[in-house]
Structure 1
Amino acid sequence: MALQTGLYYPYVHLRDESWAKAAALYWRNMARVVPAGFPVRDREVVRELNQGSDFLVDKDPRLATEVVAPAFIAAVQDNAEVLRARFAVEGRQFTDWRSSPSLASTARHLTGLYPPEVSHELVAALEETGLARWEHRVGRRQTSWVVVDPALAWTYKCALTQELARQTAFAPVTDQLSAYAATGHWTPARIANTLLGRAVPTIGRDSAQATVAMMAVRCVLPADLRHVPAEKIVRLRTEYADEFAAFTAAVEAATTEVVGATQEVTDRAAFELHLQGAFDLHVAQPLESLRKAINGLKMDTVYSTLTIKPEATLAGAGLGLWLGGTATAVGAGIAFTALAARQAAARERDTLVAASPAGYLLRVEKELNPATVLQRASRVVARASGVGI
């Protein structure tokens, strides 16, 4: 069964509005790590996506924090001196991460972890090593933070999310490209190597499905999603459930095939070539074949025939007056025949869309890409007749 819930990381808030819209076109739900009491302040677009389709699912990481803590404590204690030399918090300024450009920032400013997302034992170990301190902010509400270096916060959030993904069977997904290399099992050695810049990039098997899904959705989206209303995204999510199910099954087939066939592959670039090949086979080629098949139905020609009437020209108008009722009957017959032909073509198109794993993508492409005035008018009439895509 295809996974239909992504697990966003390493932040709480979805930071890229266009990415959020694209993600909503594939993931049935998007879970995110929200510690108890965290002050969530989503952007308006994200709130609209959520209100229209219950897109977001908040997950408390409390149980995952207890599982992740021992490996981090071991990494800190085994490498205390070198980590302190690089990530000590003494004399450095704290910047609330909601206003910081990136957790992985190399700036000297510190960032904060929300206390309920870090175990007491790990906080104590970080404090003892000089890698963390407490900060208390007073504003509209008093807030406390465990203040650390951005690189340490980034590594911790990735590891915490990976454990939560294991517990929930959700698929880790992110809009931060560097974080894709942070999936996989987090041992003390890997934590230390990541913090010290010695980590070998992971192959990407854990994020393969998320990668293929976003590749697929992106290939049919308009260049600038910022101007696409959130309500259009919500409607596509809710109206085309059958096509969506076929599409998610195709994505799962592509990723399952690649992951199963590349267990011995240790080269990330080679793995990505295999992933691209599976994407082409299971998604891109079916989409192109579907486009060609639908274009072959000549529905635009049928539509043009449907809208032509004898009264469209002066000569036609005169002929109509001379023939009287006969011209009206002939025109009605032509229109009826054209409508029947278009309805037959529409039924064949719907059969093609329903049978193709790329049918959902074609729906998305038709709905979201800008159309000419003539194309928009055509769609309005077609939908009114019950035959529009």
Structure 2
Amino acid sequence: MLQTGLYYPYVHLRDESWAKAAALYWRNLARVVPPGFPVRDRDAIKELNDAGFLRTTDPQPAAEAVAPAFVSAIRENTDALRARFAVGERRFTERWQSAPALSATARTLTGLYPEEVPDALQEALREAGLARRSARGYVGDRLVWWLAVDPAVAWAYKCAITEELARRTAFAPVTDQLNAFTATGEWSSERVADTLLDRAEPRIGREAAQSRLALMAVQCVLPADLRNVPTEKILRLRTQYADEFTAFAAAIEAAAADIANATREVTDRAAFELHLQGAFERSIAQPLASLRKAMNGLKLNTIVTALTIKPEVTVSGTGLAWLAGGPATAVSTGIAFAALATRQAVARERDALVTSSPAGYLLKVERDVKPATLLRRAGRSIARTTGVGI
């Protein structure tokens, strides 16, 4: 069943190409926006937001739920956490960094918006020397205040909020940061401490397999310059191929379920990634290659049939000869009618192939999203009309 994705750990989508690819799979993409947060989206993201693809989720209830685990972890491991993540006089920027290496000690601080951090947790962080209140940047004439913390602390907290929101909303956590902490599983005080102090094996995150597979599949047919593909074209494709998408979504869901079952005992991340790649090949890449081959075969058969059909076997051609003025016209008319009927039959077979195949949606996205010259567009229109194109 198609779900709403829950984007984390940022508010702003960092990669326009990733956002467009996500829009070709998720019905909606929810993002966590604290009240009053200064949202400043790029133009392409604004278009997706204006079209209703992006939805806003308030993190405050989830933050209240997970904050006690962080408070407990801080109070029980103050010295160890301070040794790693003390803010001191470290420089602060509100621009988030990529996933941090937990062993680093000289990273620039990043910012949590105060409205998403309950007062008790803010107090615990400041008392332990793990946070300080900092002002940086204006929105209009308003100075924006942040809770400056080490990026590792911010990432763990954001992922914990995401997990709680996912539980409350049944949205599926999805991220464009492959090395982020998994946002699934219970974030107890023990897990908070073990994660920050690097005392536990990283979780594999099987629950994200569906979103990973879906985006791998969509991205495999998209042009490298997806950033330059108009957002309005992406939005049009979302609704244009509903039947094809249904088959595609079902295949992704089934493949993700198979991965979850097959890797239930797997604890090695590299091995899990191999399983994920294998599922992609079996459920997406191979069916797509087979569908392309089948479509090419249909085109060839149509042309051969049209050229080799025998005019004397066409009843319609003989009957029309007397009305049209003679045997020559009867022959040409017979070929035309027979060829048209064959092409229409092939068109029906083509449509059935594309609609039923899990890769049919991808084939149509691939065709429509890539730039085409005027001549190619005209040729494609003619091919579609005569039954030899998709």
Same fold (TM over 0.5): yes
Q: Look up the equivalent residue of 1:128 and give its one-letter code.
A: E
**How do 1:113-128 and structure 2 match up within 5 A?**
113-128=112-127
SS at match of 2:298: coil
Q: Deviations over 1:123-155 (max 9, x none)?
A: 111011111111234632232211111121111
Counterpart-to-counterpart distance in 2, 1:299 and 1:379: 16
Q: Deviations over 1:229-255 (max 9, x none)?
A: 111111110111121121111111011
SS at match of 1:216: helix
- Is the alpha carbon distance of 1:93 and 1:72 closer, same or farther for their aligned partners in structure 2, counting shifts above 3 Å? same
Counterpart-to-counterpart distance in 2, 1:176 and 1:304: 52
Q: Which residue in the other structure is 1:213 paired with? A: 214
- Does the aligned pair in 2 maintain the 1:204–1:268 contact within 8 Å? no
SS at match of 1:179: coil
**How do 1:238-277 and structure 2 match up within 5 A?**
238-277=239-278
- Does the aligned pair in 1 maintain the 2:302–2:343 contact within 8 Å? no
- Is the alpha carbon distance of 1:349 and 1:153 closer, same or farther for their aligned partners in structure 2, counting shifts above 3 Å? same
Q: Which residue in the other structure is 2:152 paired with? A: 151
**How do 1:1-389 and structure 2 match up within 5 A?**
2-52=1-51, 54-97=52-95, 100-102=96-98, 104=100, 108-137=107-136, 139=138, 140=140, 141-179=142-180, 181=182, 183-298=184-299, 302=303, 334-371=335-372, 375-383=376-384, 389=390
Counterpart-to-counterpart distance in 1, 2:202 and 2:73: 19
Cα deviation for residue 350 of structure 1 reads 0.4
- Does the aligned pair in 1 maintain the 2:302–2:342 contact within 8 Å? no
* Number of equivalenced pairs: 369
Counterpart-to-counterpart distance in 1, 2:326 and 2:28: 59
Cα deviation for residue 197 of structure 1 reads 3.0
Cα deviation for residue 290 of structure 1 reads 1.6
Counterpart-to-counterpart distance in 1, 2:269 and 2:137: 46
Cα deviation for residue 293 of structure 1 reads 1.6
Q: Which residue in the other structure is 1:317 paired with? A: none
- Does the aligned pair in 2 maintain the 1:134–1:144 contact within 8 Å? yes
Counterpart-to-counterpart distance in 1, 2:196 and 2:60: 23
Cα deviation for residue 278 of structure 1 reads 2.8
Tell me the TM-score normalised to structure 1 length: 0.86
- Does the aligned pair in 2 maintain the 1:343–1:387 contact within 8 Å? no
- Is the alpha carbon distance of 1:46 and 1:379 closer, same or farther for their aligned partners in structure 2, counting shifts above 3 Å? same
Cα deviation for residue 101 of structure 1 reads 4.1
- Report the identity percentage: 65
Tell me, which stretches of 5 or more residues in structure 1 are unaligned?
A: 307-323
Q: Deviations over 1:204-251 (max 9, x none)?
A: 212111111111112211222122111111111011112112111111
SS at match of 1:178: coil
Cα deviation for residue 380 of structure 1 reads 2.7
Counterpart-to-counterpart distance in 1, 2:186 and 2:134: 31
- Does the aligned pair in 1 maintain the 2:298–2:388 contact within 8 Å? no
Q: Look up the equivalent residue of 1:92 and give its one-letter code.
A: R
Counterpart-to-counterpart distance in 2, 1:21 and 1:328: 53
Cα deviation for residue 16 of structure 1 reads 0.4
Q: Deviations over 1:56-108 (max 9, x none)?
A: 111001111011111111111111112112211221222122xx443638653
Counterpart-to-counterpart distance in 2, 1:268 and 1:9: 20
SS at match of 1:184: coil
- Does the aligned pair in 1 maintain the 2:302–2:388 contact within 8 Å? no
- Is the alpha carbon distance of 1:384 and 1:349 closer, same or farther for their aligned partners in structure 2, counting shifts above 3 Å? closer
Counterpart-to-counterpart distance in 2, 1:15 and 1:385: 43
- Does the aligned pair in 2 maintain the 1:303–1:342 contact within 8 Å? no
Cα deviation for residue 258 of structure 1 reads 1.7
Counterpart-to-counterpart distance in 1, 2:327 and 2:23: 55
Tell me, which stretches of 5 or more residues in structure 2 are unaligned?
A: 308-324
Counterpart-to-counterpart distance in 2, 1:129 and 1:150: 16
How big is the alpha-carbon RMSD for the aligned residues of Structure 1 and Structure 2? 2.8
Cα deviation for residue 344 of structure 1 reads 2.0
Tell me the TM-score normalised to structure 2 length: 0.86
Counterpart-to-counterpart distance in 2, 1:18 and 1:103: 20
Counterpart-to-counterpart distance in 1, 2:181 and 2:357: 30
